[in-house]
Amino acid sequence: MQLPACLPLLTYYCPSLLFFLRISLYQNKVAASDLIQSSSEMKNKSASVSSSLLPAFGTVVDDGDLHLKRNVIAPYDRRYRWWQTFLVGLVIYSAWASILELTFDKAANGVLLFIDLVVDFFFAIDIILTFFVAYFDTSNFILVDDHLKFAFRYVTRFWLFMDVASTIPFPLINKILIDEWHTGQVFSLLNLLRLWRLYRVGELFKRLEKDIRFSYFWTRLLKLICVTLFAVHSAGCFYYWLAARHKPSEHTWIGRLIGDFKQKGFWHGYICSIYWSIVTLTSVGYGEFYSMNEGEKIFNSIYMLFNMGLIAYIIGNITNLVVQSVVKTFAMRDSINEVMRYASKNQLPEGMREQMLAHMQLKFNTAELQQEEVLKDLPKAIRSSIAQHLFWKTAEKTYLFQGVSDDFLSQLVSEMKAEYFPPRIEIILQNEIPTDFYILVSGAVDVVTYKNGTEQFLSNLESADMAGEIGVIFNIPQPFTVRTKRLSQVIRISNHQFKQMVQSESRDGKIIIANFMEYLRGLEKDMLQELPFLTELLADQNVQPTAQNEEKQNRETMDSTDGNPTGTSNTSDPSLSAGTIRVIIYGYHPSKKTISGDRLGKLIYLPNSIADLFNLAEKKLGKRGSTILMADGSEVEDLSALRENDHLFIV
């Protein structure tokens, strides 16, 4: 093939290259905001994080830094990244071809020469593009988009010299000046400057290792394979180069077996050299190819020393990758073995051993789902957002928090902790001190109690049901045992944190107490029997009035302030409903003299109607009344006129 034959190939590529330059450098028809938006999207994608684009600790990248000047390319722009990736493919070819052309003259004066010209043309374009690429100042991490600054930075540093030197077509210069393909070894050696481009491959692998879209294991494995193949190729070619330049050729490693190896085909010599390189790399050789002169012996010694380091590097990396994939399994087995030794040493029952093993296995199976382990290093705002996304709907369905404000629920959800329990595991033990209560997210649990050593089933709880809240709210030992029926996920709320939030939000606290009392009224008789104090408590309480009744009472309270029959001032909250007003009742006439013991009254919550008040007074005082009097003898006809701590006489 003659030199002019490469012109059609260059002519074919030129329009595409010019088009790319027109897009990358002269974006006259593309608004600057489009480039900014594209660059911002690339920068904000956590999947393609690169250490070269991350700000230094404690520094802030201002939004103004994203407004680039005209004809400036952002280093994180998607199009420029694709261009760099394309060049990596050309670098791989250059690394393979430059060593091959040095060794085999037939390869150097063939079609590879013209392919090299095209590849060098692409890298020449990249040199021009580099003068338009902004860079980050490492001192303050500001994106520098001044043409003079990053052009001066590129010219005054070592990169420009090496990029230009690796792009000069030395084989073509050799052809023009000497006009012989087999001479000019100096130019062939200078052609090895193209190996400088290999740094681009290293940068690519650095980005891929930090890119979460790609498997770290396969990325590292591909890197090891590339390093091994390049080492095998380079050693084989250089070893053949030594034999081809040695005289007589019979005193060489390949000439001893193949006397006319120089007249053989290109692929014959290449395959022999690669075979020798692989055998030497993986072992000490089979003996058919060995050193015949001092130069080959020196090269073999250096290569085998290099192989020691390369093999250690490969084995160490592969071992690290394999160990990383099974380290969790090793940790789980060690923990289980420790549990078994502990159970055997202390002669624990078989049931306890099974529970301990089930808990350990579940812990490792759900390790990536444990809220504490995953969220402990995140800021509180992010943890709060994640907790709201995961647990808001479940907490909102829970009976205790129905009707509370969104702010209270948001604070509560942020403090929740997720836990997993295997089947047949006690979440709450009867008579234990209440430190937390639980909301069931998924699964099912049984509520049981123990009487005289006998287990009694009380109820079954499912998703959005609560357990342990009775002990927490009443501050008493847990009255029931709660045991899982199957694999269950729960969210735990601390007793201390819950009470702090309720005390700071009085309105939400009243709603929670009302919901809790309503829940207690709906408990089954079996559960009420286990809580004898609830019977009297529920008798004193009554159903909360509706919002309409509360508004009516507020209006009547305002109207009756001036005509208070007792002459006492209204110091209570006018928004209190009848069910939250406490009064003291007596079973005699206010003017009647009784002994001191009979003068003691009963403190009750005011019910909603006079009939209910008579019924409650009969239960508390032991006799039925027909009239309600105040301390001054005036008769009460409407309960809405009563105030907190009024004294009522039922006669």
- 303 falls within a domain: no
CA distance linking residue 433 with residue 478, whole number of Å: 6
Is residue 553's pLDDT more than 80? Answer: no
Rounded average pLDDT over 290-298: 85
Rounded average pLDDT over 312-335: 80
Strand-pair partners of 649: 586, 629
- 63 falls within a domain: yes
Q: Which residues contact 303 (CB under 8 A, 6 or more apart)?
A: 235, 239, 280
Q: Which amino acid is at 311?
A: I
Cis before residue 248, ω within 30 degrees of 0?
yes
Angle between helices 533-540 and 506-521 (to 10 degrees): 120
Is residue 572's pLDDT more than 60? Answer: no
pLDDT reported for residue 439 = 92
Angle between helices 495-504 and 406-414 (to 10 degrees): 160
- 309 falls within a domain: no
Angle between helices 294-345 and 216-245 (to 10 degrees): 160
- 576 falls within a domain: no
pLDDT bucket at 18, cuts 50 / 70 / 90: very low
Among 224, 155, 154, 165, smallest CA distance to 195 is for: 165
Question: 135 lies in which domain range?
Answer: 59-210
Task: Answer with the residue of higher pLDDT: 401 or 188.
Answer: 401
- How many distinct structural domains can be found in the chain? 1
Angle between helices 199-210 and 216-245 (to 10 degrees): 160
CA distance linking residue 585 with residue 650, whole number of Å: 7
Is residue 185's pLDDT more than 70? Answer: no
- 163 falls within a domain: yes
pLDDT reported for residue 559 = 45
Task: Answer with the residue of higher pLDDT: 547 or 359.
Answer: 359
Hey, which bits of 514-576 come out as E strands?
Answer: none
Among 636, 570, 540, 578, smallest CA distance to 648 is for: 636
- 38 falls within a domain: no
Task: Answer with the residue of higher pLDDT: 66 or 116.
Answer: 116
Is residue 593's pLDDT more than 80? Answer: no
Strand-pair partners of 420: 489
CA distance linking residue 30 with residue 27, whole number of Å: 5
> Look-up: residue for tokens 């490693």?
253
CB 468 within 8 A of CB 418: no
- Tally the C-alpha atoms within 13 A of residue 32's C-alpha that lie toward its C-beta: 7
Is residue 482's pLDDT more than 50? Answer: yes
Task: Answer with the residue of higher pLDDT: 44 or 350.
Answer: 350
Residue 62, number of CB atoms within 10 A of its CB? 10
pLDDT reported for residue 286 = 75
Is residue 349's pLDDT more than 50? Answer: yes
**What is the bridge-based pairing of β-strands 481-484 and 426-428?**
antiparallel
pLDDT bucket at 178, cuts 50 / 70 / 90: low
Is residue 513's pLDDT more than 60? Answer: yes
CB 114 within 8 A of CB 9: yes
pLDDT reported for residue 567 = 37
Is 603 in a helix, a strand, or coil? strand
Is residue 562's pLDDT more than 70? Answer: no
pLDDT bucket at 155, cuts 50 / 70 / 90: confident
Rounded average pLDDT over 634-650: 83
Taking CA atoms, 223 is separated from 206, 219, 374, 548, in Å, by 10, 6, 30, 74
pLDDT bucket at 165, cuts 50 / 70 / 90: confident
pLDDT reported for residue 599 = 59
Rounded to two decimals, what is the model's pTM?
Answer: 0.48
pLDDT reported for residue 140 = 62
CA distance linking residue 550 with residue 168, whole number of Å: 92
Is residue 542's pLDDT more than 60? Answer: no
Q: Which amino acid is at 519?
A: Y
Of 112-116, 143-147, 463-467, 581-585, give the range with the top mean pLDDT. 463-467
Is 454 in a helix, a strand, or coil? strand
- 433 falls within a domain: no
- 135 falls within a domain: yes
Query: pLDDT of 81-137, one tens digit each?
Result: 888 889 888 988 888 888 888 877 766 666 777 888 888 899 899 888 888 888 777
